[in-house]
Amino acid sequence: MGFLERLTGTRRPAEGVAPRSAQEVRELLLSLGGGDVPWVVRGAAPEEEVEFVAEWRVREPAWWGFFRGRRVDRTVRIRTRLVPEDREVRALQEQWEVSWVDGTPRFARSRAYGRGQGRTVGGQWTFGRDEGGGRRLEETFRFDTAELTDPVRDAVLGAGWTWRAVTFGKL
């Protein structure tokens, strides 16, 4: 892998991994997330101009308490498009600011909005006590965009396809 590919976030499958068909990759992506995981991969709506969207489940009322209780103030969405002739998935990561109004999330493109392939890590900590009675800082929650990006990217690579990160322009 070249320096530029590493810098842009493009990853290629390991040597010897046989590429699966486009239909198998579609089915694989749609099978990711959901259930007890706080993110999901869904088919995109026509106006989204992509095939799939992987996103944190902040918009689902059943998950509002989970995210609000952890003071999540931003969310990530990965918009993807399959390019079967090149056996690659093009991905654009977007970050949105979240504000909580009366327990309901509001999303806005603001100074916290970003595009590209960056990684955001945040968390919540409290003071606790160690065995000797001394104080120590304990992490109670960690928000890491890699928890969403890595499983989706790894599934694509495991299917023998290239993960091409897109920073500017259209997918």
3-state secondary structure of 76: strand
Q: Taking 70 as the threshold, does the pLDDT of residue 109 lie above it?
A: no
Which is it for strands 114-116 and 88-101: parallel, antiparallel or unpaired?
Answer: antiparallel
Establish if 124 belongs to a structural domain. yes
Establish if 126 belongs to a structural domain. yes
Confidence (pLDDT) at 139: 55
Establish if 120 belongs to a structural domain. yes
Establish if 171 belongs to a structural domain. no
For the chain, what is the domain count?
Answer: 1
Establish if 170 belongs to a structural domain. no
Establish if 60 belongs to a structural domain. yes
Confidence (pLDDT) at 135: 76
Establish if 69 belongs to a structural domain. yes
Percent of residues, the chain, with pLDDT higher than 90: 32
Confidence (pLDDT) at 116: 44
Domain that holds residue 106: 3-165
Establish if 54 belongs to a structural domain. yes
Confidence (pLDDT) at 110: 44
Which of the four pLDDT bands, split at 50, 70 and 90, describes residue 115?
very low
Q: Using CA atoms, how far apart are residues 92 and 80, in angstroms rounded to an integer?
A: 6
